[in-house]
Amino acid sequence: MSNGNFDINAAVSSLTESAGKLFQLQVDLANNTLKTLVSVAEPLAKTATDLIGNVANAANQILQSVSAAIAPKK
């Protein structure tokens, strides 16, 4: 049983410390998530850019081939 003494300062200090740790963990989690998303997005963006460039080049070559086939021969 309790002897009736309750240290409110210790309880508040412990609660504040726990809340601070929880907040710091949330900040760390958000920071790590952001870093992970950036590290995933960078190669995806490069790959998408390369793909768009390759598709544009292929379309240009097709148009040139079609134009050459349609153009009257001299």
Domain borders along the chain are 8-74
Phi first, then psi: give them for residue 13, nearest 5 degrees: -60, -45
pLDDT digits (tens, 9 = 90+) for 34-69: 999 999 999 999 999 999 999 999 999 999 999 888
Closest CA to 48 of 56, 60, 62: 56
| Angstrom distance (rounded) from CA 25 to CA 21 | 6
| Angstrom distance (rounded) from CA 27 to CA 25 | 5
What letters, b where the CB count within 10 A reaches 16 and e where it falls short, cover 37-48?
A: eeeeeeeeeeee
The verdict on pTM exceeding 0.75 is no
